[in-house]
């Protein structure tokens, strides 16, 4: 995963460039943090989808799937570990690049750590949902690959609650409970569905 950090670096450079363009476009318009947050979360969503699909395309190719199947570890555990490594990779890069993103989008630095916590919690669910999408999209059957779009509605609650949290007291832990609950729901199903898709569709 460390070797593949170059992919994350390129993707987060894309976020910085895109946020800079939005920042310039919104420079002379009075906007609140909600609009800036929407921009960040949409870019983050696109980054996660791209990153996870790239990793799954390379790490769960047909020969490697065969190796994983013969491994003493369950495929669900391998998927869980892979997702956690992708998550850590993305969180670290977001933390590093977030000051630049804040500057380009003129977001108040008073909520810097709160936004980073929100992003970290959101990324948990985003990565695990994206793994389902990636495992279906990597199907050998193009007809089945198109069904990966059915997972897209699962991303909507994260965007809605992320933007809605701006109206809450981000210093209160209750503001983050939805993200934890949503992650636990995804944690219960994502490794199972992802491993099932990899076994049935990719082999």
- Summarised one tens digit per residue, pLDDT across range 16-46 is 888 787 777 666 665 667 777 888 888 888 8
Residues 169-192 have a mean pLDDT of 83
Which pair of structure tokens corresponds to residue 98?
Answer: 């977030």
Q: Which residue has the higher pLDDT, 118 or 32?
A: 118
Q: pLDDT category, 65, cuts 50, 70, 90?
A: confident
Angstrom distances, CA of residue 74 to CA of 58, 142, 192? 19, 27, 10
Torsion over CA: 97, 108, 155, 119 (sign): positive
When mean pLDDT is compared across 32-36, 55-59, 127-131, 181-185, the lowest value belongs to 32-36
Mean predicted confidence (pLDDT) in 151-161:
83
Residue 107, φ and ψ in degrees, nearest 5: -90, 140
Contact criterion met (CB below 8 Å) for 25 and 67: no
Give me the residue spans of the domains in the chain: 5-201
Beta-carbon contacts of 49 under 8 Å, excluding residues fewer than 6 positions away, are: 130, 133, 134
What pLDDT is stored for residue 87 in this prediction?
Answer: 93
Q: Give the pLDDT of residue 53.
A: 85
Inter-residue contact 43 to 119 (CB < 8 Å): no
- Other C-beta atoms within 10 Å of 132: how many? 24
pLDDT attached to residue 123: 92
Higher pLDDT pick, 154 / 27: 154
What distances in angstroms separate CA 193 from CA 44, 131, 200, one per listed residue? 23, 9, 10
For residue 49, give both structure tokens: 């989808």
Query: Quick one: the chain helix, strand, coil %, rounded to 5?
Result: 85, 0, 15
The answer, as to whether pTM is greater than 0.85, is no
Sequence-distant (≥ 6) Cβ neighbours of residue 12 within 8 angstroms: 47, 93, 94, 96, 97
Q: Residue 1 has what pLDDT?
A: 58
pLDDT band at 198 (very low <50, low <70, confident <90, very high): confident
- Are 162 and 122 in contact, with CB atoms under 8 Å apart? yes
Tokens at 73, concatenated: 């570890």
d(CA 194, CA 119): 23
Mean pLDDT, the chain, as a whole number? 80
């Amino acid at each position: 995963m460390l070797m593949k950090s170059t992919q994350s670096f390129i993707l987060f450079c894309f976020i910085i460039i895109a946020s800079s363009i939005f920042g310039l476009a919104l420079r002379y318009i009075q906007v609140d943090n909600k609009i800036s947050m929407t921009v960040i979360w949409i870019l983050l969503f696109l980054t996660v989808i791209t990153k996870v699909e790239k990793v799954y395309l390379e790490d769960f190719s047909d020969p490697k799937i065969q190796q994983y199947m013969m491994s003493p570890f369950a495929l669900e555990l391998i998927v869980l570990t892979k997702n956690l490594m992708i998550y850590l990779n993305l969180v670290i890069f977001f933390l590093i690049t977030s000051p630049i993103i804040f500057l380009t989008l003129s977001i108040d630095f008073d909520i810097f750590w709160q936004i980073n916590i929100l992003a970290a919690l959101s990324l948990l669910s985003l990565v695990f949902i994206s793994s389902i999408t990636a495992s279906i999209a990597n199907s050998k059957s193009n007809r089945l690959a198109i069904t990966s779009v059915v997972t897209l509605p699962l991303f909507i609650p994260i965007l809605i609650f992320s933007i809605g949290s701006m109206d809450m007291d981000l210093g209160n832990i209750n503001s983050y409970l939805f993200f934890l609950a949503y992650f636990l729901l995804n944690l219960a199903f994502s490794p199972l569905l992802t491993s099932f898709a990899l076994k049935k569709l990719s082999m």
